[in-house]
């Protein structure tokens, strides 16, 4: 091959996009809306295809331990990814905090929840929804909040527990429960509450909800996994994450 032709061929090779790959991603339910938006932009930019599964972090842990084919985990806490990494189910050095979640007491009904959460002390409601504290970090945060307020025992008979924060949101959105503790990201977008009434729970009432991502062992050799992790730490993804009320 002539030198000029060789240079041209090399340039074409270097400018060609990497082969598109498919990636199986387990995503905490609270991160559903931002992840869908991020995934669409990532797929458009890279050509990779993301297969997203949404659910509770606790259930994902059990599924991963039982051989589920997930390659990346976006958890609702930092403990689960750290545990998976220690147990050899994750790729060492790939774990990072992609968002800091915030808890909110929310009702679809305007005016039901006041901006100081005093409605909790009135007890003037039949049911209050929260995620299972044993499976969902947002459920644990809700219980910590009620305990700090001295209301956990008094309200326990009114609890309606969702398997994850997505199901918990549905209880309140369908008004099967008039109010409940959900992730701020589920009821907040573009800098405002989407509907209803809410109390932003002070972060002093619950432990920080640090949400970590991790490349799992099954995704070690998938180039799309590393690219997705880099993308999540870029400005475009961070802007989406902030727009749903998360801290960074």
DSSP string, 168-227: HHHHHHTTSSSEEEEEGGGTEETTEE-SSEEEE--GGGS--EEEEEEEBGGGTT-HHHHH
Angle (CA) 222 64 144, round 5°: 120
- Per the CB < 8 A criterion, the answer to whether 244 and 34 are in contact is yes
- 171/156 same-domain check: yes
Task: Give the CA-trace dihedral at 131, 132, 138, 144, to 10 degrees.
Answer: 110
- Per the CB < 8 A criterion, the answer to whether 72 and 26 are in contact is yes
- 37/72 same-domain check: yes
> Which is higher by pLDDT, 117 or 8?
117
For the ranges 46-50, 120-124, 190-194, which has the lowest average pLDDT? 190-194
Q: Residue 147's domain spans which residues?
A: 101-205
Average pLDDT over residues 140-150: 97
- 113/191 same-domain check: yes
Q: For the domain that residue 123 is a member of, what is the CATH number?
A: 3.40.190.10
pLDDT-derived band at 102, boundaries 50, 70, 90:
very high
pTM over 0.75: yes
Residue 4 has pLDDT above 80, yes or no: no
> Which is higher by pLDDT, 10 or 109?
109
- 50/68 same-domain check: yes
Residue 209 has pLDDT above 60, yes or no: yes
State how far the Cα of 125 lies from the Cα of 171, in Å rounded to an integer: 14
Average pLDDT over residues 163-173: 94
- pLDDT tens across 11-36, in order? 433 433 457 889 999 999 899 999 99
- 80/116 same-domain check: no
- 95/176 same-domain check: no
- 60/108 same-domain check: no
pLDDT-derived band at 180, boundaries 50, 70, 90:
very high
């Amino acid at each position: 091959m002539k030198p000029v032709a060789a240079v041209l061929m090399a340039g074409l090779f270097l400018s060609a996009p990497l082969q598109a790959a498919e990636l199986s991603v387990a995503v905490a339910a609270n991160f559903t809306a931002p992840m869908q938006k991020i995934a669409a932009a990532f797929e458009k930019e890279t050509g990779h295809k993301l297969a997203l599964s949404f659910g509770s972090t606790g259930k994902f842990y059990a599924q991963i331990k039982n051989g589920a084919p997930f390659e990346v985990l976006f958890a609702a806490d930092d403990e689960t990814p750290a545990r998976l990494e220690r147990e050899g189910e994750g790729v060492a050095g790939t774990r990072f905090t992609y968002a800091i979640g915030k808890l909110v007491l929310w009702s679809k009904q305007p005016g039901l929840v006041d901006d100081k959460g005093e409605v909790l002390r009135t007890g003037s409601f039949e049911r209050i929804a929260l995620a299972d504290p044993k499976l969902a970090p947002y459920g644990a945060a809700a219980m910590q909040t009620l305990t700090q307020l001295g209301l956990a025992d008094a309200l326990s008979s009114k609890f309606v527990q969702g398997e994850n924060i997505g199901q918990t949101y549905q209880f309140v959105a369908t008004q099967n429960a008039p109010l409940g503790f959900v992730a701020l990201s589920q009821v907040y977008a573009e800098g405002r509450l989407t509907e209803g009434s809410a109390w932003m729970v002070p972060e002093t009432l619950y432990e920080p909800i640090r949400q970590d991502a991790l490349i799992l062992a099954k995704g070690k050799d998938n180039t799309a996994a590393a690219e997705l992790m880099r993308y999540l730490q870029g400005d475009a993804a961070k802007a989406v994450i902030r727009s749903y009320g998360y801290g960074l």
